[in-house]
Amino acid sequence: MLIALAVVALVLLVAISLVFVDRSVAALAERRAAEVLSEPFGRLATVRVLGRPFLTQALRGRYGEVHVTGGGLVIGDLTGATLDARLNTVYLPARDLLHRRVEEITCDRVSGQVVLPFGELARVAPIPGLRLRLVGDRLMASAALPIPGFSQLARIDGQAVWTIGNGSAVWLRIRGVSVAGVSVPSIVMNQLLPALDVPVALPALPYGLRIDDVRPTREGLVVTGAADAPVFRRRTADSPGHPTS
């Protein structure tokens, strides 16, 4: 009986030890990965290694999925951005994991989304006095523009529609325009169109994400994208810290 109890206790002790080691290895991998994956932001992002057991992933040097989140980020000229990204099949060799400094991480694919505050987008958009606000499920815009027949700038209102353009630009179009609640005649609207249909050049997204979709939410404009086979490197004097493909 005593031998059986001793065996059970030993098995439990080994199991608890393996759980502790497993979690410790995961924590180490998360810290090492965060040091590299936080480079574009100038501050530490939150990194979580998903899937279990962690120990076998660490021994192989290959992790099935890594989740990266961060808030209050600076992306180009825009501040207050948030990131939610998932890296699939991430390579971090065990020898690098045990070193005090990881220089490079690779993965097969990264996908995610960046949320950009409306106030920041209004600031960089080439429309004078632009303001953006979400009303229900519609993103409304107002701006100060010269209106034919008015002696001074008039504040126009309408619905803001974001679409994907070429390269890193998205297009902002203001539709259903009114002035003081009165719809703008089509002849006047045709003259206003060049000022209400403009590209907004976004900065390069983190991790080399290519823009796939844009949509307004309560938090801001959600920009989703993906990239194949990015390489994440530590920042050097000659490198801005962005991944290469």
Q: pLDDT tens digit string along 47-78? A: 888 876 777 777 788 888 999 999 888 888 89
- CA pair distance 74, 114, nearest whole angstrom: 11
Contact 98, 108 (CB under 8 A): no
Rg of the chain's alpha carbons, rounded to an integer? 25
The percent of residues in the chain predicted with pLDDT above 70, rounded, is 71
Residue 7 binned pLDDT confidence (cut-offs 50, 70, 90): very low
Pick the closest to residue 148 from 194, 104, 110 (CA basis).
194
Strand, coil or helix: what is 129?
coil
| Helix or strand holding residue 199 (H, E) | strand 197-201
Query: Which range, 50-59, 68-77, 138-147, 227-236, is most confident?
Result: 68-77
For residues 207 and 227, the answer to whether their CB atoms sit within 8 Å is yes
Residue 16: per-residue pLDDT: 40
For residues 207-212, average pLDDT: 92
Residue 177 is encoded by which pair of tokens? 């325009």
What pLDDT does residue 25 have?
54
Tell me if 120 sits within 8 A of 219, measured CB to CB: no
pLDDT in tens, 157-169: 899 999 997 766 7
Q: What is the pLDDT of residues 95-130, one digit of tens each?
A: 777 776 778 889 999 999 999 999 999 999 998 889
The predicted structure's pLDDT at residue 112: 95
